[in-house]
Amino acid sequence: MASTLRVLTLNCWGLKFVSKKRKQRLEAIAHYLVEHDYDLVGLQEIWVYEDFEMVKHKTKHSLPYAHFFHTGIFGAGLAIFSKFPIVKSYVQPYSLNGNPLKILQGDWYVAKAVGCCHLEYPDGGIIEVYNTHLIAQYSPNDDNGFHRAAQGWELSRVLKDALSNGNHVIALGDYNSIPDNLVIKMIESYTGLTDSWDEINGSGVIHPPYDPSLSMVEIARCNGMTSIIPTNTLSGNPNQKHPGERLDYIFYARTANLRCTASQVCLTEPVVSLKCSYSDHFGVCSTFSITPKPRGAMGATEYSSATWDVDIFGELNQLLTSGLESVHRKNTGYIVRFAVGLIVWVILLVVCSIITPPSWAIAVFDVFMVGFAIYSFLFFLMFVLYTRVEDGAFRRLLDDLQVARNHAKLRNPL
């Protein structure tokens, strides 16, 4: 007997001291979850553990099982809430997570990751739920593009391995990638997972033109847009003509036992009492028809759509190679900055030992000497530690990609 499984993903924008009306919005989100009777919810950007505890408490009757994924200094911001018991959980931080010098971006400090919970579905069977949040594009140059491609490759491998377990698989989250981006194409091609919104609604226009006959919310809903929507009070500009971007997805392993029956953009209306949107993202809700299956049971034809796309993985190889080359360039820059800081520090030290400046000048010299000492030490750490870790991660991922390519050639020699 088939039953219904309702799934929601939402980026909550829960940065402490930064996000507008954070506590009130999270409370409104918790109230929304209780009212709409979801079976499974994946939240991103729950950066404050107390917010997770609050949502957990308010949803304890409708979603009695919850898990928060701890990584980095502040946690990955990922949480899963479920009607079904959580029997297993783990989290895998991505090997590449931005640059520690970019403090305001914060990705390196939180350690972006993919978190997984195995849910015990009634009458047998396991639902493997993967929740992730990939590194964002903070500038038009997309300095984090190499790291996002690397994260997408690691995520694809995790999901590919999950399929071999024979369980139901759902992968949701904020992928920070539009539909024609390498990350999305790689997940669909390499794992064979299905984009639930795309399956139900058809491929939306990635960059839809402005249509004055439709509201911006209607354009967003028609094309799956979830971010930078003009009507979103936290991320959009009411005067902008660009209707937004599609960054949030619910992928799933389409089998005889799991089929998507509906999918839509949700949480598009503002919170009336707060006069603001629930978050700077809209959510995505998908409804599935699910039938139990024995643990580990996998039909012979399931996931047959997974293929090795030469063009996609050629692009990935190029991006990872370019990322490795960028590490070497950055390393040279860090060495130069270290040397400059050290030279200036030595010059200041010599000047102070030769002349006898007034007391106020000595204080100024001391401040500058401490500043340049910290400056030099910081870049010393960057080229001695950080770039070596980054270099090793890119090399490891390129090696893994080559192994996968060789395996694909053996399976498909033509």
Partners of 177 in the beta sheet? Answer: none
- At 183 the pLDDT is 96
If we measure between CA atoms, which residue out of 286, 119, 267 comes closest to residue 194? 286
In this structure, how many other beta carbons lie within 10 angstroms of the beta carbon of residue 5?
A: 23
For 242-263, what is the mean pLDDT?
93
**Reported pTM:** 0.92
In total, the chain counts a number of residues equal to: 414
**Cα–chain-centroid distance for residue 111?**
10
pLDDT at 209 over 70: no
pLDDT tens digit string along 340-397?
A: 999 999 998 888 888 877 888 878 888 999 999 999 999 999 999 999 999 999 999 9
Ranking 162-166, 175-179, 292-296 by mean pLDDT, the lowest is 292-296
Q: What's the rounded Cα separation, in Å, for the pair 253 and 261?
A: 14
- At 413 the pLDDT is 62
Q: pLDDT above 90 covers what percent of the chain?
A: 72
- At 304 the pLDDT is 46
Which band of pLDDT confidence, cut at 50, 70 and 90, is reported for residue 82?
very high
Main-chain dihedrals φ then ψ at residue 155, nearest 5 degrees = -65, -45
Q: Please tell me which residue in 118, 147, 281, 407 is annotated as part of the active site.
A: 281
- At 244 the pLDDT is 86
pLDDT tens digit string along 140-153?
A: 788 899 999 999 99
- At 222 the pLDDT is 84
- At 408 the pLDDT is 77
Q: What's the rounded Cα separation, in Å, for the pair 59 and 33?
A: 7
pLDDT tens digit string along 257-310?
A: 999 999 999 999 999 999 999 999 999 999 999 987 765 565 434 554 566 688
pLDDT averaged over every residue in the chain = 90
Supply 348's token pair.
């200041």
Q: pLDDT above 70 covers what percent of the chain?
A: 91
| Higher per-residue pLDDT: 401 or 208 | 401
- At 211 the pLDDT is 64
pLDDT at 238 over 70: no
Partners of 252 in the beta sheet? Answer: 170, 194
What HEC string does 111-175 produce? CCEEEEEEEECCCCCEEEEEEEECCCCCCCCCCCHHHHHHHHHHHHHHHHHHHCCCCEEEEEEEC
The contacts of residue 99 (CB under 8 Å, 6+ apart) are 105, 108, 386
| Higher per-residue pLDDT: 308 or 47 | 47
Ranking 7-16, 28-37, 269-278, 299-308 by mean pLDDT, the lowest is 299-308
Supply 162's token pair.
């999950």
Domain ranges of the chain: 3-290, 310-411
- At 317 the pLDDT is 96
Top CATH class of 3-290 equals alpha beta
Answer for the pair 312, 189: CB distance below 8 angstroms, yes or no.
yes
Q: Is 61 a catalytic residue?
A: no
If we measure between CA atoms, which residue out of 202, 210, 243 comes closest to residue 225? 243
> Measured between alpha carbons, how far is residue 372 from residues 43, 111, 340, 344, 392 in Å?
42, 29, 9, 7, 29
